[in-house]
Structure 1
């Protein structure tokens, strides 16, 4: 089990898993699988690292309403990464029932 990172006042944290080490590709895949199995709609956002604590990130296409393929979501993340290599990229799961975010986490650190 990996250790939780200590608080560092000079390094701001955010999102669901930000105090843990970066996720492996398999852990990202598992989280996407959980997201789509819950019926949540994936959405990809990206921004410059210096603007990461702004409330406004750039939306990568529209949310993937009804998407059930983990591979399609991963392909979109990879395309966003290729087009914006220096940006932070986060994946959001929108829950239709509660009409809110079910989860949000960083999938690429620019």
Structure 2
């Protein structure tokens, strides 16, 4: 197991914190984000936008941005809501969830906008 990389991360260093699955990968491009949103739509999951302050991001409670977008299939509309949330809360992390009606849980969750570290 010596080939496994250690991610130096700590609560005291906001810039080092990892959130959600994709935070361990290089930052996604706009096209890669669009592809992930299309995946949520293709699975029939309901998009939901949430945000929180960086110091509270490790908690399980994030603020809901409006209601989940039940039945929304327009990727551009979802991107517009993510952008509107980010503009309204520029100092917060903004994440997108894909809510699975059948399993009654989040099928996916990813940070789309990460607040700048202090």
> Could you tell me the TM-score, scaled by structure 2's length?
0.85
Distance of 1:89 and 1:96 partners within structure 2: 22
Q: 1:100 aligns with which of 80, 105, 110?
A: 105
Number of aligned pairs?
106
Distance of 2:34 and 2:71 partners within structure 1: 17
User: Which segments of structure 1 move beyond 3 Å, counting only runs of 4 or more?
Assistant: none
5+ residue gaps, structure 2:
11-15
**Which residue number in structure 1 is paired with residue 79 of structure 2?**
74
**Which residue number in structure 2 is paired with residue 64 of structure 1?**
69
Distance of 2:95 and 2:75 partners within structure 1: 15
Which has a greater percent of helix? 2
Q: CA deviation at 1:6?
A: 4.6
Deviations 1:11-57 (A, max 9, x none): 33221211012211111100000100110000000001111101110
Distance of 1:108 and 1:52 partners within structure 2: 12
Matches within 5 A, 1:33-72: 33-72=38-77
Distance of 2:90 and 2:49 partners within structure 1: 14
Q: Secondary structure of 1:82's match?
A: helix
Give RMSD over aligned pairs. 1.2
Q: Secondary structure of 2:49's match?
A: strand
Distance of 2:44 and 2:113 partners within structure 1: 23
Q: Retained in 1: the 8 A contact 2:52–2:94?
A: yes
